[in-house]
Copies of this chain bind each other. A is one copy, B any other.
Amino acid sequence: MAKRNARISNAVIKRLPRYRRYLYELKKKNVEKISSQGLSELIGYTASQIRQDLNHFGDFGQQGYGYSVDGLYDEIGAILGLDKEYKVVVVGIGHLGKSIARFTYLYKSGFKICGLFDTADDVIGKTVRIPVMDVKRLVDFVEENKVDIGIICVPPEAAQEVCDKLCFAGIKGIWNFAPVDLEAPAKVVVENVHVMESLHTLVYRMNEK
């Protein structure tokens, strides 16, 4: 199904993975159809918001019938681009980089980690599913293998340099776990996971109570 409208707000986009997660749970329970009201009770958004969100992408539901769980799950996956495979490299194989390299769910859901990179002599050559390479090989590797996504797990002071290398090599997206804001050309999408900011928000809200 083609997108009805290419300019969909970030807020809607941010909600789609959440819809998909709930639909996945329903699939696992062999639920075949669900109304917007049923989705509303599960997810906590209003039924009208749900209908509005999903209408951006075409008519998934049928009046008085509800949404097909399988169909909606697949459509949202296709809209998000999760029906394709992506080649991924991880840069910085410390504790976090290792845990990402071993995160089975990534492989299962189409994110193929094909390269791991580090600068430390005692890490290069070790195997975390696949061997860790010297970061000096990063640019050539990304170019040659047409890698789509680079995951940055290096310390903050090294993150911009890694970002520059990935962009130079033609990466399309960067998933950044370093606690810095990166500068990248407009054609490269950067998505940050700033976990400490999330923890600090938690602490603030705990103290507020």
Contacts and interface: CB of A to CB of B under 8 A. Distances in A.
Interface in A1-39: 6, 13-14, 16-18, 20-21
Contacts of A207: 80-81
B17 A201 contact: yes
Contact of A173 (B16, B111, B174, B203): B203
A109 B199 CA distance: 11
A103 B105 CA distance: 22
Contact of A204 (B81, B196, B205): B81
A120 interface: no
Interface string A172-207: 111100011100000101011111111111111111
A166 interface: no
A191 B197 contact: no
A208 interface: yes
A50 to B, nearest CB: 15
A197 B98 CA distance: 20
B21 A197 contact: yes
B208 A6 contact: yes
Given A80-B204, A173-B203, A193 B198 contact: yes
Contacts of A13: 201, 204-205
A118 interface: no
Contacts of A208: 6
A18 to B, nearest CB: 6
Contact of A198 (B105, B191, B209): B191
A80 B200 contact: yes
A9 to B, nearest CB: 12
